[in-house]
């Protein structure tokens, strides 16, 4: 975040193949992240899940879907299934509502 001048990350997806301990053990950056999706690799290195969960203890919403464990500060928005939508109305175009920068840092 410091290297790229990023003050806040809305959603951080991580698949670091067992390096969770090193990344989350001392994570001062975690207070500047809104939600995290992470693959936990306890099968590669014991204790990865515990370190990540401890670092994300201030994220009140936690769930798992498939291989990804999610931690979020705000509750997920429910998908709309309203029956009262206007017939024939087209849905809004998908995409971000604000400028979005995606970084792939390897």
**84-99: average pLDDT:** 45
Query: Quick one: 66 exposed, middle or buried, by C-beta within 10 A (0-12, 13-18, 19+)?
Result: exposed
Q: Which helix (H) or strand (E) holds 48?
A: helix 48-55
The residue ranges of every structural domain in the chain are 9-72
**100-104: average pLDDT:** 57
Q: Is the pTM of this model over 0.75?
A: no
Q: Is 103 helix (H, G, I), strand (E, B) or coil?
A: coil
Q: Which helix (H) or strand (E) holds 52?
A: helix 48-55
The winner for highest mean pLDDT among 21-30, 36-45, 94-103 is 21-30
Lowest mean pLDDT among 33-42, 56-65, 96-105: 96-105
Which residue is listed with tokens 């975040």?
Answer: 1
Topology of the domain comprising 9-72 = Translation Initiation Factor IF3 (3.30.110)
């Amino acid at each position: 975040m410091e290297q790229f001048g990023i003050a806040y990350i809305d959603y951080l997806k991580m698949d670091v193949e067992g390096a969770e301990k090193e990344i989350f053990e001392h994570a001062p950056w975690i207070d500047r992240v809104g939600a995290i999706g992470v693959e936990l690799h306890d099968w590669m290195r014991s204790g990865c899940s515990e370190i990540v969960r401890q670092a994300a203890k201030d994220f009140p919403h936690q769930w798992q879907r498939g291989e990804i464990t999610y931690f979020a500060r705000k509750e997920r928005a429910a998908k709309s299934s309203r029956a009262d939508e206007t017939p024939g109305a087209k849905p809004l175009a998908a995409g971000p509502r604000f400028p979005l920068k995606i970084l792939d840092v390897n």
